[in-house]
Structures are given as structure tokens and as C-alpha cells.
Amino acid sequence: MSLALAPAAEPKKLNILGATGSIGRSAEAVILGAPGRFEVGTVASGRDAKNLARVAKSLGARFAAVADPASYSELKAELSGSGIECGAGPEAMVQAAVRPADLVVGAIAGAAGVKPTYAAVEAGLDVALANKECLVCAGDAFMRAARRKGVRVLPMDSEHNAIFQALGGEPIENVETMWLTASGGPFRTWSAEAIAAAAPEQALAHPNWAMGPKVTIDSASLMNKGLELIEALHIFAIPAEKLDVLVHPQSIVHGMVSFADGAVTAGMANPDMKAPIAHCLAWPERVATSVRRLDLGAIGTLTFEKPDLDRFPALRVAMAALRAGGAMPTILNAANEIMVAAFLNKKIGFNDIAREVEAVCDDFARRNATGAPADVEEALAVDHIVREKSLTRVKGVGG
């Protein structure tokens, strides 16, 4: 028996960028659990051709695109006889993004997701955004284009989606403080010395969420929360000084809003990405899901604490970039991607991530190379330069 509510008169048409990642898999579950509510036109992923073909067939997509041209032959073979068109490379990814749809899910991880998601905005398509880099790397340009095209950007990250619901349509001028919550990750109770010696396997052992490796490492360092603050600034057009972070190890409250009259509203759910995904896919309606229902009586206690910026300096570095604005978030994001990859490859230590990201940011600040990118192309150009600089630093640390 399906949990879905009665189907709408017309199914909502979706394009899914990042169909094989954790967001894509959860979106697939929501869509399959709501027969008649959604129609999938395109699916796209980075290089996982086999799984992309499986998702395309599972969801009845008409076009599948893979970013890596070397994966095209495998994708074509996997789709043979299905009637599903396919393509590969940057142009195919943009094609997957801009085909007619009511909503485009932007869930390709990293800077690779910026161009196709931005192309969807330029095509006048509403976007459910789960790609941080669109806003951290090119937030000003991305949201400026959304306003120019009359495009709605729905926040799909659990924290921003919780705040979106907690706002209840209130004008942002009525907001006193907007809190994003952090689980604290696997190192919340660890000493500074133990954190410094942490191995990638330990950093990947998140207590509450199942995510990709990059975002899991960001969660362990609390960099993820800093990137989310930058996202929130752009999504909600709120001043940086009204944004804050609370550590909440139960991961039940995902975001809170304090208003000028002293009232506080909170977005709450069990830690399951199907909840915010379903909210975005069905908005402004709702669709039932298999998400485990929240039983506060069974949970009993919810706890909150301020983040420790000494043990988790990555959040401090990210908050400085948030306040600085301009190109600094772009620089922060690019340097962090390189340093996280280096840590996962055991070329640098865990504490080197924040230390080296801060050093890269400081270097660009000294050279006054921190003006806001004029458009997405310029943001991606800055991203490329910072990555090259960061790779050079990795060689120095590793050497």
C-alpha cells in the first residue's frame, strides 16, 4: 500500500542533476513512493554510468547524461534497448538541466554542479538546490540570475529547508536570529590532541547521517556548517550578523528562527534526507513519505551547545569568510575541496585542512584578490586559480 497522498491532476515534471548520489537515491525513493505525483524527464551524474542507467530506467526518464565522457560507452550499453537517450560531457549535462521541467534538482556535488544548475536558472526553471557550491562559490551571481529570471530557489539541504518551513513566509526583516544546527560530527567530544591525530576512516564515521565522503569530512571539521551559513545568507537574503550555529547532537532540530517579538520556531524531523527532499519536490503541496515519525516522548531530551571554535577552527575560518564576503567564500570553498581530498588521500592531517584553507584565504586577501565575482564564469575562474594554489600547498605539506 502506497503512503502517497492522492495524485495531483498533472504530475510535476522533474530533472534530476546528481541522480546517483545520496540526494539522488533519496529523491528516487520519494518519487517511487508517490506514484502519479512526479514525472522525470532527465537524470544526470558525474561518472557512475551503471547506476545512472539503473535510475533512468527506474524512474522512466527520457534522457540521461554523464559528465565524464569516458563513461559514455558504458552508459549507452547499459541503456541499450530502453529507448532512453543519453549523452556525455559538459554540453550533455547542460542539456539535461535545461530540458523543459517544473523543477530541477541541483544535487551534483562540488563546483562541477555549478554550470548545469546555473544553466537551469538561466532557462527560467525553478531549482531545488542541494549543491552548496552554487551559492558558496557564486552566490551573488546565482541569486541575481534567479531574481532576473523570476526563478524560485527552494532549499533542499536539511538545515535550510527546516528554516524555510520555520519562517512560514514571514518577511526577513522580522527575523532576529537564524540558527543552523550541527550534530557535532564524530569528534564532538574528542580532545584537541585526538582530533589532530584522526584518520580519514574515523572522520568518515558520522553518528547520524549517511552522506558522501566530502560532506562527511566537512561535517567532522564543522566546515560544512560554515558553508551552510554562506548558503543561508544568499538563500534568505539575511545579514551575516543574524546567522549563528548551535551544536545539537540528536539532529532532530535542523534549524530555528528567532523573531523580533521573542518567538522562536523550529524545523524538526528525524535525520532522513527524504523529508526535505519530499518537501521541495512537492512544494507548495506535500507528499507522504516513509520517513520515521518523530516521537519526542521517546527521545526525551534535546540538547544544544555552542560550537568550540578552538577545537574546530574550520568553522571560525568559514565564519570569517562569511563576514568578509566578496570572493572570499569562493576562495574558501575551492581551497577546502582540495584540502579535504588531500586528507582523504592521507597526504595531510585533519587539522591541516583548516590551517591550509586559512593560509590560502590569507594569501589572496594580502594580494587584494577578493572582489566579488561579477558572474558565474568569473567565480569558476577564481575557483580554478585557488585550486591550483591549494594543490601547490598540498605538495609542500605532504613533501
Say whether 174 counts as a known binding-site residue: no
Say whether 132 counts as a known binding-site residue: yes
Say whether 131 counts as a known binding-site residue: yes
User: To which residue does cell 524527464 refer?
Assistant: 41
Say whether 224 counts as a known binding-site residue: yes
Say whether 22 counts as a known binding-site residue: yes
Asked if 286 contacts 279 with a C-beta cutoff of 8 angstroms, the reply is yes
Separation of alpha carbons 191 and 185, rounded Å? 13
Say whether 183 counts as a known binding-site residue: yes
Say whether 242 counts as a known binding-site residue: no
Say whether 228 counts as a known binding-site residue: yes
Separation of alpha carbons 6 and 24, rounded Å? 24
Asked if 334 contacts 387 with a C-beta cutoff of 8 angstroms, the reply is yes
Three-class SS state of 181: strand
Torsions phi, psi for 108 (to 5 deg)? -75, 125
Helix pair 114-122, 139-149: axis angle to 10 deg: 20
Say whether 392 counts as a known binding-site residue: no
DSSP letters of 211-276?
A: --HHHHHHHHHTHHHHHHHHHHHHHHT--GGGEEEEE-TT--EEEEEEETTS-EEEEE--S-THHH
Say whether 20 counts as a known binding-site residue: yes
Say whether 133 counts as a known binding-site residue: yes
Detail the residues annotated as belonging to a binding site for NADPH: 20-23, 46-47, 131, 133, 212
Detail the residues annotated as belonging to a binding site for Mn(2+): 157, 159, 228
Detail the residues annotated as belonging to a binding site: 20-23, 46-47, 131-133, 157-159, 183, 206, 212, 219, 224-225, 228
Detail the residues annotated as belonging to a binding site for 1-deoxy-D-xylulose 5-phosphate: 132, 158-159, 183, 206, 219, 224-225, 228
